[in-house]
């Protein structure tokens, strides 16, 4: 995150307990505060990890106090599929920057936007990549989501879990405010506009070199 902070393409950061666990983070608060010691001028989202709403709220208020650029990620439901919209409304009205996460339906977008109405700056994160994983085209749903949040000037729509570089263009074409991008996707930015003939040759060379280095014989 610190390395990417210097990249002019990057306008903010987000993480979640799953990513932090994969990265080997042991102390949640210590990690977050270390990030914030470097990243002061970009928004950064940290997620609550409780399942009961009173504890979610306690964690959210504590996380919000870590920095003015902090957004608190609240899952759209808990593990029992109980909606978190009342908690979201209460936090937003109290001045907490909320990032509503794990959204996959337009109904959830609409309810989240209503809960965030006239509150603090907020994000509504729709996991378009997971929608695509089910065989559905996420673009029409995301375009509809853009229209659902349009009446709310304090809300930005976030295209979460992108799967390929093309998703950046798709998000931009429908007017989506933000798209998350993994390091793997960012590494492909230098491919934009690349000659397909040249890319074909690069692919042939890759196959040849990998076969040669493996010492394959028939």
Active-site residue numbers?
73
Pick from 76, 77, 79: nearest CA to 113: 76
What string of DSSP letters covers the chain?
-TTGGG-TT---EE--HHHHHHTT---HHHHHHHHHHH--SS-EEEE---SSHHHHHHHHHHHHTT-TTEEEEEESB-TT--B-HHHHHHHHHTT--EEEEEE-SHHHHHHHHHHHTTSSSEEEEE-HHHHHHTT--HHHHHHHHHHHHTT-TTEEEEE-S--STHHHHHHHHHT-SEE---HHHHGGGGGTT--HHHHHHHHHHHHHHHHHHHT---
Q: How far is CA 169 from CA 60, 116, 123, 144, 186, in A?
A: 33, 27, 20, 17, 13
């Amino acid at each position: 995150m610190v390395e990417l902070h210097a990249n002019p393409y990057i306008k903010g950061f987000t993480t979640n307990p799953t990513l932090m666990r994969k990265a080997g983070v042991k102390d949640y608060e210590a990690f977050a505060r270390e990030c914030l010691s470097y990243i002061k001028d970009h928004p950064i989202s940290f997620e609550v990890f409780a399942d009961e709403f009173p504890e979610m709220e306690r964690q959210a208020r504590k996380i919000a106090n870590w920095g003015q650029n902090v957004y608190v990620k609240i899952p759209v439901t808990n593990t029992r599929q109980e909606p978190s919209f009342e908690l979201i409304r209460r936090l937003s009205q109290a001045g907490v920057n909320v990032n509503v996460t794990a959204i996959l339906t337009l109904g959830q977008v609409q309810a989240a936007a209503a809960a965030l109405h006239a509150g603090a700056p907020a994000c509504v994160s729709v996991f378009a990549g997971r929608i695509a994983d089910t065989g559905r085209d996420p673009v029409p749903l995301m375009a509809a989501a853009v229209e659902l949040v349009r009446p709310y000037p304090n809300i930005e729509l976030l295209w979460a879990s992108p799967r390929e570089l093309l998703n950046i263009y798709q998000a931009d074409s429908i007017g989506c405010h933000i798209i998350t991008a993994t390091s793997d996707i960012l590494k492909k930015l230098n491919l934009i506009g690349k000659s397909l003939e040249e890319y074909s040759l690069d692919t042939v060379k890759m196959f040849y070199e990998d076969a040669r280095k493996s010492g394959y014989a028939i």
